[in-house]
Structure 1
Amino acid sequence: VLQQAPDIFVEAIGVEADACVRIRFDGREYLSNGWTEQADLNVLPITSKAAGVGTIEFGIAEGSVAGDPMDGRSRPSLRTYWLLADLLGRIIEDRQLRRDLEKAERLAAAGQIAAGIAHDFNNLLTVILGEAETISSADALPAYLKEGAGNIETASLKAAQLTHYLLAYSRQQALEPERVRPVLLVERCLPGWQNLLGPKISLRLVAPSDGWEIEADAGQLESAVLNLILNARDAIEEEGEIVITLRNLDYAQQMALGRAPERPAVVVLEVRDTGCGMTPEVLAKAQEPFFTTKERGRASGLGLSMITGFVQQTGGILDIVSSPGQGTRVLMFFPTAVDIGAA
């Protein structure tokens, strides 16, 4: 559509106007026939979801005398340009909505499959783990067989953790929600998390002393933050910093950030790193199950999808902001345990 749009717009403006059009979007340029660089241009923003996503430029084709009073022809009005820019923004927004819908449907189907596999696999693991425990508890069993039974138990517990990840991704894990003050949870865990990072990566907390409470599974929240810290550690090549930020946002503060609030008040838990960042292609797939940029065997690819599932199951939203060389910010928006008015 974008490749054809400049010439379609020229035709819409009117052949007599001898217009030429350039569209800049997503790092690319789309030119109409007869486009030439010139100083006298109308440059208008292309907006989608109230944000600028590109520009559309209108000029007069080379050799044209359109706009010359002696020629009897005039350039199209600025209103015409605005209408075309608005139309293009709507087309781009519609295309993105279709992509988002297709992705959501694909992930939902994958979640249903993952949940079914996880439940069946858990049933098998229960039998395997039970038999291994029975074998290892036998008094007359040779030492090497006891060791083998112990290895079966260990492997079964690790496999059970993988099924837990699958259920978390599909938002079907059993949660034990309670009132949690995230700032206190993070403060308690911070020294232990720092020990996992080594001396070249610093970890610090930025948070208000009066952090609001949320309704969440404390164990799963701790696991989610730890996973994000470990991801951040892996993204930092040598020296760097990981910052955990907690913020209380009421309705007005959410609006001021340009967000359409889904809850009157939220607690934002952000994990930011100074690592390598993600390309747009990696960022687009980061929350999909089994996607990983790590070497084969080093990761299951369920980390971020598991965290996304937990946050959504808790009634929250997860956002990721990242670009190459600029690090990564993962933001989890949790509704407060007690509603705070929108006034």
Structure 2
Amino acid sequence: MVTGFVDHVLASDGTTRTVMWTAVSDVKSNLFYIIGRDLTDQERIEESLRQTQKMEAVGQLTGGLAHDFNNLLTGVMGNLELLQHRVAKGRIDDLDRLVLAAQGAGRRAASLTQRLLAFSRRQTLDPKPTDINRLIAGLEDLLRRTIGPENTLEIVGAGGLWTANINAGQLENPILNLCINVRDAMPEGGRITIETANKWLDDRSGRERDLLPGQYLSICVTDTGCGMDEHTIERAFEPFFTTKPIGQGTGLDLSMIYGFARQSGGQVRIYSEVGIGTTLCIYLPRYSGDASNKSGEHEAALPDSCSGTVLIVDDEATIRDLGRIDIHRSQIMAAAR
């Protein structure tokens, strides 16, 4: 029997139809019975559903982005307006507090942008051969303080773990944020296990994880929390999707992990049962080489002062003006792009 063969057929009205063919042999007569099933309408409905889901995701992304940025811009503009008002009246006391508050809101906006870039896989990576076991061990004290004494942390590092070629700093933040999410999923306390392992993925296991067959290392974080249902798992990596109350989460942590893993050539998978717990596994490709423990040894020293011509190119006028103010003793040329 042959089944699942899909072909495109030109109909009598000139339209193209999608047909799935099934061929069944008759052992008594040595004949084949061939049945064609028209999938055109089904494909049209599925494509319409995918487009609807895509627009819902875009709407959720833009809505969450607009909300968060409006809050941050209110913090920046509000503090700057208060600063301007006080300076105009000659009140120069407590100005540092307003400046620091505006800078803090600006930094949070920059962090939000980085998370969005991570999700879209457009963040700037500086990959280096990294010992994942050593990286996690270096985070252990911080993780224990973060999850609190009511939660137990266990780290199980695989012996002979392969090296990964990644940006170490952009893996540390996802692990920390993931442990924070796990802590919030266990309000009564529980156990968090971080486990690393080497993985050989064949064709079947690669397809299950949407990865090419080959050698990978995994970082799995398991908790004994409330777990996720199927609907939550399906939407877990959508930006700004969160099950936390308003004001207690941005909904960007898991999408940032997903973007980092995909940009690094890996994948993320969630395995969960309601009432039992959740395991999130990050799969990263094996790097054939030794981990580098050196950093910054060959960086060139910058001179204390210099002179010359500086060309500032940016499409935002305020950024060009900031450059003019910040750079001294040089001939400055500013240009929009």
**Scaled by the length of structure 1, what TM-score is found?**
0.59
Q: Once superposed, what is the RMSD of the aligned Cα atoms?
A: 4.5
CA distance in 1 between counterparts of 2:208 and 2:121 reads: 28
Please, which of 86, 108, 114 is the counterpart of residue 164 of structure 1?
A: 114
What letter corresponds to residue 218 of structure 1 in structure 2? A
CA distance in 2, matches of 1:217, 1:305: 17
- Distance change in 2, residues 1:141/1:175 (3 Å): farther
Runs of 4+ in 1 over 3 A off after TM superposition: 94-118, 125-133, 251-261
Distance 1:323 1:223, change over 3 A: same
**For residue 221 of structure 2, what is the aligned residue in structure 1?**
271
- Aligned partner of 1:329 among 279, 285, 291: 279
SS where residue 142 of structure 2 aligns? helix
Q: 1:236 aligns with which of 180, 186, 192?
A: 186
Q: CA deviation at 1:323?
A: 2.2
Q: In proportion to residue count, which structure has more strand?
A: 2
CA contact (8 A) 2:61 2:240 kept: no
Deviation at 1:257, TM superposition (A): 11
Counterparts of 2:286 and 2:78, CA distance in 1: 42
Deviations 1:238-295 (A, max 9, x none): 1210001101012459849976751410001111100001122222211111111111
Aligned residue in 2 for 1:294: 244
Q: 1:256 to 1:332 in 2, by over 3 A?
A: closer
Cα distance in structure 1, aligned partners of 2:46 and 2:219: 27
| Match 1:218 to one of 136, 154, 168 | 168
Residues 210 and 267 of structure 2 are in contact (CA less than 8 Å); yes or no, is this contact kept in structure 1?
A: no
Distance 2:63 2:213 in 1: 31
Bigger mean CA offset, 247-256 vs 161-170: 247-256
Aligned-residue sequence identity (percent) comes to 30
Structure 2 residue 162 is the aligned partner of structure 1 residue 177: no
1:200 aligns with 2:138: no
Contact 1:272–1:328 (CA under 8 A) maintained in structure 2 = yes
Cα distance, 1:259–1:282 mapped onto 2, change above 3 Å: closer
Q: Among 223, 230, 233, which residue is 1:283 paired with?
A: 233
Question: Which TM-score applies when normalising by structure 2?
Answer: 0.60
Q: Which runs of 5+ in 1 are unaligned?
A: 1-86, 134-139
- How big is the shift at 1:210? 1.4
Superposed, 1:57-206 pairs within 5 Å as 142-206=92-156
Quick one: distance in 1 between partners of 2:257 and 2:228?
18
* 1:304 alignment partner, SS class: helix
How far off is 1:223 after superposition?
0.6
Q: Secondary structure at the match of 1:244?
A: strand
| Cα shift at 1:174 | 1.2
Q: Aligned residue for 1:20?
A: none
Q: Is the 8 A contact 1:246 1:269 kept in 2?
A: yes
Alignment length, in residue pairs? 250
- Which amino acid is the alignment partner of residue 258 of structure 2? T
Distance 1:328 1:100 in 2: 27
Structure 2 Cα separation of the partners of residues 129 and 178 of structure 1 = 40
Structure 1 counterpart of 2:301: none
Q: Deviations over 1:132-172 (max 9, x none)?
A: 99xxxxxx982322221121111111111111111111111
* Correspondence for 2:317: none
